Amino acid sequence: MSDSPPPAVSPPVETRLVYAHGLAALITLLISVTFGVLASIELLAPDLATAHGAWLSWGRLRYDHTQGIMLGWLGNAFFAFLYHAVPLLTGRSVTSARLGQWMFGLWNFAVVAPGWVLVLAGFSQPLEWAEFPLVIDVFVVLALVLAIVQFLPPFFSRGLEDLYVSSWYVIGGLVFTLLAYPMGNFVPELVPGARGAAFSGLWIHDAIGLFVTPLALAIIYFVIPAATRRPIFSHFLSMLGFWLLFFLYPLNGTHHYIFSVIPMSAQLGAITASTLLGVDVVIVVANLLLSLRGAGWFPRDVALRFVSTGTVFYLIVSIQGSVQAQMSVNQSVHFSDWVVGHSHLAMLGFASFAAAGGLIHAWQRIPTARYNPRMLDWSYWLLFAGVIVMVSDLTIAGLVEARLWQTTQPWIESVRAAKPYWLIRTLSVVPIGAGFVTFLIGLTTGDRGGGLGAVKASIGLEPIQEIAPVFTVSTAPESAAEPS
Amino acid sequence: MKRALRMSYLVAGVAGIGFFVMSVLLLGVWPGRVLEQQIRGMSPDHPLRLTASEQRGRTIYAREGCAYCHTQQVRYVPNDVARFGAASLAWETIFDYPHLWGTRRIGPDLSREGAVRSADWQLSHLYSPRGLVADSVMPAFPWLFDGAPDRPRQEAQDLLAYLETLGRNRALAGPEGEARARAACNCSDDEKQLAFGSPALNASPSIARGQGGYPKLSESGDPNRGQQLYSSNCAGCHGLRGEGDGPGAAGLHPRPANLSEHDYTLDRLGSSLWNGSAGTAMPAWRDLPIEDLSALAQVVRGFHQAQPEPALPQDVLDLGSRVYAAHCAQCHGENGAGDGSAAGQFPIAPTNFRAQRPSLAASLRALRNGVEGTPMAPWTSQLSEAELSAAAYFVRGFFQGGN
């Protein structure tokens, strides 16, 4: 059926780049979490760092937290995954290992590290998901261009026929991030006030919808068949989900400014798109869960377990998103901790679980990488518990705040009422932080090349030498995707 | 077939880019054009731009992440309008590069902050938020000051200047501007009501209204509730024992009232709590229910220890009366009601002695030293010691009793 059958031997994966981006992801993750924890502690003890001056002030920590999570942790984890997955998806190597080294340096030492320092030093822009200063944005755009040069040519030289859905998400994610990034980071500097806010709203959602979600889904769609050694349930549903997602996600943006002065028809359009997006996610997740059937809710392969739990979080967070875009709900919970809970469910529950699963999956297949299955098992359960505590806590806090805002009580009452919830949120970092530390330990200790052994032990199969055929798309289902 | 398949992916790719372009056109460019039209129709002709100092203040506001806890948009929602005033119009943020709308409120909305608090309050609050609002979680910004709230560096002054611009243009637009915007607003009646229907542009209860009606407080109140309200809302400035020495007091000019040195009528307390005190940092507390205000008033009255009043010889009273008529009555009024002919000129109302009686010590101190931050000047160069004492005694006689 296919013109160019996948080669019998997979092209070399640039394992050093997987490894480098993986380690960078882990380190930036821990730093970003530290920023978040410090910010959350400062809500409980606001004068804790006052004596240390402006550098540790809440606003600056808050900026660094989200930028670090999105660019440092998720960005690096996505790149690590792409270095693993693109050769397997296309049967071709990425453009250039040398380019990869430049990209690595650019991303970590021209974007993330200086971005953090500049924000702490007081150079930033007050735009959500775009807090690094403009000078850093230039390097981000450059790095995104390089990422396209690095990862997309293998897809095009392979030919776009019968692309597996992960490939679509990779192509879509990289191209649309490059298009959307300047819109959120540059346009509001040039277009003032309400008009700028309209663009800003688009980016707030596109950062999640066009960067984080497609690449996280690419990982999920990749890891599930690779780990279960069964093809995805339905390629038709995969592609339906993909196109609906890329149609609907960009149309969501204005739901961040419901009841604002932005024209009501734009708001209503965004609300409609948000509602339909929930439907789309039900399709996507149904397809993924059906692909997982038999694997159990908590598969033994920890990479698969992270990914499948991330899938369930994705369903929950998307339905929550559809609900909170409705005017009646938005009217009360908007501006409250409900939304903070929602974004943590998205970035920590969904995206980070997917990224962690993808990273572990790639790690298992690096022959020289250390791998400690017990630690990773701990990591999973700690993070799982932490996410649930944190998100439920913030959701309830949001409802309490929303209720108080509807009364005539002084504003400070809502702050006072939120404090116990903020304490629990800060405490939830104990499992979450421990989860991420054990994650780091799990990928840096243990036997070298122990990953495949762990996979073998967990699913009772021989180590997987060859996984590329799983991703072959065929119109004849019975011949599809049997591992050779 | 193969060629068609290739074409189909090309079509899909173009469609994908099309989706993105469509989203930008539908949710970015088109709303922008509508907003531009709105702005053209509704904006006053010459809204004030930010000065260099205000612009620098805006940069500080942006860099410290203020917009991540304080929104600058009053939404078209009754609760928002009830708390923060008229819903925001598009033209109010036309000079915001980039916008500072925000999507989270830990603190209140600041769209109209300019009119809400006095400058000394803002500076003290930036210097040490918990000095003024015990339960605040706002970061403190002492590095914008030279060691004291009333010694702001340029940066703090810039930030203050910026805060004072918030809501300025809408206020300056005045009734004509509102009428013009209302006429040009292509919006539903509901939206018109939310944007233009509120009695005040800014509904913040913190605004000191100066004068106006106030409800009658009750003589009794739940002492525990009163104490709790006092310690979380008042003690920051007025001090735990009402001596005007709270942690936030140092940077305020005039200083917070020393409640223990004054006897207040219930009406006087009702007026201050309901309207605030214009020209001072004392905000209005009208978002508290009357029972709470009454409970607070009882706490405040409890600070004052009644002293035995010495009976004064007639000649002292006569001297006091003469001094008062010659030097004090222009401001404080012939009957001590704070309504003298010159009173209207001052940003801060002269003390109404009929509604509040200072202790002798406080009275004398004010005459000798003046009251910092108010038009009340020291009288030691004009009056003899005997005259000062006589006047200090005399003004206490205006007080209209215990309730």
The amino acid at residue A327 is M
In whole angstroms, give the CA distance from residue B154 to residue B138: 21
- Per CB-CB distance under 8 Å, the chain A contacts of B99 are 188, 192-194, 196-197, 200
pLDDT score for A367 = 85
Query: Is position A471 within any domain?
Result: no
Q: Do B104 and A176 touch (CB under 8 A)?
A: no
Residue-by-residue DSSP string for B112-127: TGGGTS-HHHHHHHHH
Query: Is position A272 within any domain?
Result: yes
Q: Do A415 and B137 touch (CB under 8 A)?
A: yes
Q: Compute the average pLDDT of residues A435-463.
A: 79
| Test the A interface: residue of B27, B80, B95, B145 with most A CBs within 10 Å | B27
- The interface predicted TM-score (ipTM) is 0.90
**Distance to chain A for B196, nearest Cα, Å:** 13
Q: Do B205 and A410 touch (CB under 8 A)?
A: yes
pLDDT score for B14 = 82
> CB of A475 within 8 Å of any CB in chain B?
no
pLDDT of residue A463 exceeding 70, the answer is no
Query: Is position A434 within any domain?
Result: yes
B314-398 CATH pick, 1.10.760.10, 2.60.120.560, 3.40.50.1110, 1.20.120.420: 1.10.760.10
Q: Do B76 and A125 touch (CB under 8 A)?
A: no
CATH number of residue A339's parent domain: 1.20.210.10
Parallel, antiparallel or unpaired: strands A370-371 and A447-448:
antiparallel
B223-302 CATH pick, 1.25.40.10, 1.10.760.10, 3.30.360.10, 3.90.1150.10: 1.10.760.10
User: B220 — phi, psi (to 5°)?
Assistant: -120, 160
Query: Is position A398 within any domain?
Result: yes
For chain A, give the percent of residues with pLDDT over 90.
Answer: 68
Q: Do B93 and A192 touch (CB under 8 A)?
A: yes
In whole angstroms, give the CA distance from residue B292 to residue B303: 17
Please enumerate in sequence order all residues whose Cβ is within 8 A of that of B283, keeping only pairs 6 or more positions apart, or say none. Answer: B116, B117, B121, B205, B206, B207, B208, B276
pLDDT of residue A410 exceeding 50, the answer is yes
> Which of A44, A47, A246 has the CB atom closest to B19's CB atom?
A246
Query: Is position A476 within any domain?
Result: no
Q: Do B35 and A410 touch (CB under 8 A)?
A: no
| Window 127-146 of A, Cβ < 8 Å to B | 127-128
Binning pLDDT at 50, 70 and 90, where does residue A10 land? Answer: low
- Per CB-CB distance under 8 Å, the chain B contacts of A39 are none
- Delimiting residues of CATH 1.10.760.10 domain(s) in chain B: 52-196, 223-302, 314-398
Q: Do A59 and B98 touch (CB under 8 A)?
A: no
pLDDT tens-place string over residues A99-130: 999 999 999 999 999 999 999 999 999 999 99
User: Residues A462, A465, A471, A473: is their CA dihedral positive or negative?
Assistant: negative
In whole angstroms, give the CA distance from residue A94 to residue A429: 38
In whole angstroms, give the CA distance from residue B324 to residue B353: 12
Tokens of B348: 């801060």
CATH class, range B52-196: mainly alpha
Q: For residue A44, which of A359, A424, A444 has the smallest C-alpha distance?
A: A424
> CB of A272 within 8 Å of any CB in chain B?
no
Query: Is residue B358 classed as helix, strand or coil in its secondary structure?
Result: strand
Query: Is position A4 within any domain?
Result: no
> Which of B27, B63, B95 has the CB atom closest to A192's CB atom?
B95
Q: Do B27 and A263 touch (CB under 8 A)?
A: no
Query: Is residue B263 classed as helix, strand or coil in its secondary structure?
Result: strand
- Name the one residue in this structure whose structure tokens are 């790719």: B13
- Name the one residue in this structure whose structure tokens are 């024992």: B241
pLDDT of residue A160 exceeding 90, the answer is no
Query: Is position A163 within any domain?
Result: yes
| Test the B interface: residue of A255, A411, A425 with most B CBs within 10 Å | A411
pLDDT score for A462 = 45
Q: Compute the average pLDDT of residues A167-172.
A: 92
The amino acid at residue B221 is G
What's the total number of domains in chain A? 1
pLDDT score for A130 = 93
What 3 state SS string does chain A have? CCCCCCCCCCCCCCHHHHHHHHHHHHHHHHHHHHHHHHHHHHHHCCCCCHHHCHHHCHHHHHHHHHHHHHHHHHHHHHHHHHHHHHHHHHCCCCCCHHHHHHHHHHHHHHHHHHHHHHHHHCCCCCCCCCCCCHHHHHHHHHHHHHHHHHHHHHHHHHCCCCCCHHHHHHHHHHHHHHHHHHHHHCHHHHCCHHHHHHHHHHHHHHHHHHHHHHHHHHHHHHHHHHHHCCCCCCHHHHHHHHHHHHHHHHHHHHHHHCCCCCCHHHHHHHHHHHHHHHHHHHHHHHHHHHHCCCCCCCCCCHHHHHHHHHHHHHHHHHHHHHHHCCHHHHHHHCECHHHHHHHHHHHHHHHHHHHHHHHHHHHHCCCCCEECHHHHHHHHHHHHHHHHHHHHHHHHHHHHHHHHHCCCCCCHHHHHHHHHHHHHHHHCHHHHHHHHHHHHHHHHCCEECHHHHHHHHHHCCCCCCCCHHHHCCCCCHHHCCCCC
| Alpha helix segments (H runs only) across B148-205 | 154-165, 168-184, 189-196
According to DSSP, residue B195 is labeled H
Q: Are A454 and A447 in contact (CB under 8 A)?
A: no
Binning pLDDT at 50, 70 and 90, where does residue A219 land? Answer: very high
Tokens of A100: 């990869």
> Which of B19, B101, B287 has the CB atom closest to A197's CB atom?
B101
pLDDT of residue A385 exceeding 90, the answer is yes
| Window 303-342 of A, Cβ < 8 Å to B | 331-332, 334-336, 339-340
pLDDT per residue of chain B (403 residues) written in tens, 0 to 9: 566 666 677 777 788 888 888 888 888 889 889 999 889 989 988 899 999 999 999 999 999 999 999 999 999 999 999 899 999 999 999 999 999 999 999 999 999 998 889 999 999 999 999 999 989 999 999 999 999 999 999 999 999 999 999 999 999 988 888 888 888 888 888 888 898 888 788 888 888 877 778 888 888 888 899 999 999 899 999 999 999 999 999 899 999 999 999 999 999 999 999 999 988 999 999 888 899 999 999 999 999 887 777 777 888 889 999 999 999 999 999 999 989 998 888 888 899 999 999 998 899 999 999 998 899 999 999 999 999 999 999 998 898 875 4
**Distance to chain B for A351, nearest Cα, Å:** 21
Binning pLDDT at 50, 70 and 90, where does residue A268 land? Answer: very high
Query: Is position A482 within any domain?
Result: no
For chain B, how long is the longest CA-to-CA vector? 119
Q: Which range of residues forms the domain containing residue A288?
A: 16-464
| Test the A interface: residue of B9, B30, B39, B63 with most A CBs within 10 Å | B63
> CB of A182 within 8 Å of any CB in chain B?
no
> Which of B9, B28, B140 has the CB atom closest to A202's CB atom?
B28
Q: Do B103 and A335 touch (CB under 8 A)?
A: yes
